[in-house]
């Protein structure tokens, strides 16, 4: 029953996602031809290096990644020196 419901759900998504697709219009509009270029002179960040702060934040997150799992097993072995041995 679970595989049947999964199959029906997958088919429903496939039907919905394969609906009509509309292409973008390549005709430029007058507003689309104007571009603004942001330079360091007109940025209002008061000279603070926000990019450097972001890189430091990412470097701090690097230590939080998942560590590989290690498994420690303790094996206890007994040796009987008195049986069949010399003293």
N-terminal to C-terminal alpha carbon distance within the chain:
71
Pairwise CA distance, residues 9 & 15, whole Å: 10
Residues in Cβ contact with 87 at an 8 Å cutoff, skipping those fewer than 6 apart? 81
Percent of the chain past pLDDT 70, that is, above it, reads 57
0.85 cut: is pTM over it?
no
Token pair in block for residue 3: 């595989």
Q: What is the mean pLDDT of residues 7-22?
A: 72
Q: What is the mean pLDDT of residues 30-55?
A: 73
């Amino acid at each position: 029953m679970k595989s049947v419901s999964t199959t029906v759900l997958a088919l429903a998504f496939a039907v919905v996602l394969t609906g009509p697709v509309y292409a973008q219009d390549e005709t430029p509009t007058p507003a689309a031809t104007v571009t603004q270029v942001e330079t360091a002179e007109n940025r209002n960040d008061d000279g603070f290096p926000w990019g450097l702060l972001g890189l430091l934040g990412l470097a701090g997150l690097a230590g939080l990644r998942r560590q590989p799992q290690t498994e420690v097993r303790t094996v206890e072995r007994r040796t009987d020196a008195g049986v069949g041995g010399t003293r």
